[in-house]
Amino acid sequence: MLTVLFSAPAGRWTDYEGPLTRALREAGVEARIVTDTDAPETVDYIVYAPNGGLSDFTPFTGAKAVLSLWAGVETIVTNRTLTQPLCRMVDSGLEEGMVEYVTGHVLRHHLGMDRYVAPEAPGWTRVVPPLARDRQVAVLGLGALGAACARALAALRFPVTGWSRSPRAIDGIACFHGDAGLRPALERAEIVVTLLPLTGATEGLMDAARLGWLPEGAVLINPGRGALVDEQALLAALDGGRLGHATLDVFREEPLAADHPFWTHPKVTVTPHIASETRPASAARVIAENIRRGEAGEPFLFLVDRGLGY
Ligand code: NDP
């Protein structure tokens, strides 16, 4: 019988106990799940979320893998006590939620909905938006989430450019990669969505120079990570009119401080890291499948490359 340690903030266990127990059974894995242990050396797998209190992996000498409940692993990937394989979360529920958030916010800006949802005064001012086919959108990051969003936007007929580290080919998306590919991905994009992981290579990526590559009045939607964007450069670009709006879900410091200028900036929409969340039912099946693979000697799914940081 395997021992699986569930290490996540208090409260998460209530959501996961049923789905995880069921998923392990369905995967044919015999395991007992614990939320704490006095015998860390007996733990076979660690299901992990940040803020669960676990930061020293040294005592888990028998652990075969750490299975993250989060897609973003920047807080754990640099942990020097972690020597076991680390797998990130790729979950159909997380993907669906992100597609809904991104398409919703892209359509808000594309259609100019704010003008009618919160009009400054009564006024029969007709502003007919262009068709989606005439509005270029860029998606930075073509991984599990970025590619799904790019496809959904393309299905709505937006011309979509995408950008990744290595070459990608996605039907209907003009794919660019590497340093040289960023400018062509951005320079005609009236709406840009950042769905990159936070790594040494992506931190501060959207700085004054890169924001300056966007067409005048472009909109930034960032559900990736706060530190992908240089905050001061963003505020300057909004104030100077270079950017039309920023919809931000993630921030360098979370929760966002009550006195942060983003809260009151007329061209900023803040959402409190709700773009998408791992869904217990589907995520539990991913965890169970990885444990089954580990026991069968098969390669883990969604293994993090510690060198690349994602
Ligand atoms: P993936 O690892 O599947 O994809 C990452 C993508 O970013 C890949 O296309 C990768 O390129 C690209 N990339 C990485 N580094 C670079 C670089 N230096 N230059 C260019 N492209 C780069 O991640 P996911 O799609 O699953 O998730 C993306 C991020 O979304 C997460 O890391 C997390 O930060 C964020 N997130 C936010 C949530 C929210 O609620 N706000 C919820 C869940 C995730 P390549 O294809 O070549 O590998």
Dist. CA 197 → ligand 1 center (Å) = 4
How many domains is the chain built from?
2
State residue 14's pLDDT score: 96
State residue 10's pLDDT score: 86
Residue nearest to atom 29 of ligand 1 (CA): 197
Residue nearest to atom 41 of ligand 1 (CA): 223
Task: Based on the fold, state whether residues 114 and 251 are members of the same structural domain.
Answer: yes
3-state secondary structure of 58: coil
Task: Based on the fold, state whether residues 117 and 163 are members of the same structural domain.
Answer: yes
Task: Based on the fold, state whether residues 209 and 102 are members of the same structural domain.
Answer: yes
- Establish if 307 belongs to a structural domain: no
* Nearest partner of 144 among 73, 66, 85, 46, judged by Cα: 73
- Establish if 50 belongs to a structural domain: yes
Residues with CB under 6 A from ligand 1: 71-72, 90, 94, 141-146, 163-166, 168, 195-199, 201-202, 223-225, 249-250, 273, 275-276, 310
Task: Based on the fold, state whether residues 141 and 234 are members of the same structural domain.
Answer: yes
Q: Are 52 and 42 in contact (CB under 8 A)?
A: no
Could you tell me the two tokens for 36?
């704490």
CATH number for the domain that contains residue 204: 3.40.50.720
Catalytic residues: 225, 273
Dist. CA 303 → ligand 1 center (Å) = 13
Dist. CA 277 → ligand 1 center (Å) = 15
Q: What is the Cα–Cα distance from 254 to 167, expressed in whole angstroms?
A: 33
Report the residue among 186, 270, 310 best suited for mutation to probe ligand 1: largest number of ligand atoms under 8 A from its CB: 310
Task: Based on the fold, state whether residues 83 and 155 are members of the same structural domain.
Answer: no
State residue 300's pLDDT score: 98
Specify the long-range contacts of residues 31-35, CB closer than 8 Å, at least 24 apart: 31/1, 31/2, 31/3, 31/4, 31/291, 32/1, 32/2, 32/3, 32/4, 33/4, 33/5, 33/6, 34/3, 34/4, 34/5, 34/6, 35/5, 35/6, 35/7
Residue 129 burial by Cβ neighbours in a 10 Å radius (0-12, 13-18, 19+): middle
Query: How much is the pTM?
Result: 0.97
- Establish if 306 belongs to a structural domain: no
Task: Based on the fold, state whether residues 98 and 64 are members of the same structural domain.
Answer: no
- Establish if 305 belongs to a structural domain: no
Residue nearest to atom 18 of ligand 1 (CA): 201
- Establish if 309 belongs to a structural domain: no
Task: Based on the fold, state whether residues 143 and 260 are members of the same structural domain.
Answer: yes
Task: Based on the fold, state whether residues 107 and 6 are members of the same structural domain.
Answer: no
Q: Are 180 and 206 in contact (CB under 8 A)?
A: no
Sheet arrangement for strand 31-34: 31-34, 2-7, 45-48, 65-68, 86-87
Tens digit of pLDDT at every position of the chain (310 positions) = 999 999 999 899 999 999 999 999 999 999 999 999 999 999 999 999 998 999 999 999 999 999 999 999 999 999 999 999 999 999 999 999 999 999 999 999 999 999 999 898 999 999 999 999 999 999 999 999 999 999 999 999 999 999 999 999 999 999 999 999 999 999 999 999 999 999 999 999 999 999 999 999 999 999 999 999 999 999 999 999 999 999 999 999 999 999 999 999 999 999 999 999 999 999 999 999 999 999 999 999 999 999 999 9
State residue 156's pLDDT score: 98
Residue listed under structure tokens 């580290």: 165
State residue 185's pLDDT score: 98
Domain that holds residue 76: 2-91+278-296
3-state secondary structure of 287: helix
Task: Based on the fold, state whether residues 152 and 262 are members of the same structural domain.
Answer: yes
State residue 4's pLDDT score: 98
State residue 134's pLDDT score: 98
State residue 15's pLDDT score: 96
Enumerate residues 6+ apart whose C-beta is below 8 A from 122.
none
- Establish if 86 belongs to a structural domain: yes
- Establish if 172 belongs to a structural domain: yes
Could you tell me the two tokens for 243?
């950017």
Report whether the peptide linkage leading into residue 255 is cis, meaning its omega lies within 30 degrees of zero.
Answer: yes
State residue 231's pLDDT score: 98
Task: Based on the fold, state whether residues 71 and 114 are members of the same structural domain.
Answer: no
Q: Are 228 and 199 in contact (CB under 8 A)?
A: no
State residue 77's pLDDT score: 96
Q: What is the largest CA-CA distance in the chain?
A: 70
User: How many helices (H) and strands (E) in the chain?
Assistant: 9, 12
State residue 120's pLDDT score: 87
Task: Based on the fold, state whether residues 127 and 234 are members of the same structural domain.
Answer: yes
Task: Based on the fold, state whether residues 75 and 143 are members of the same structural domain.
Answer: no
- Establish if 174 belongs to a structural domain: yes
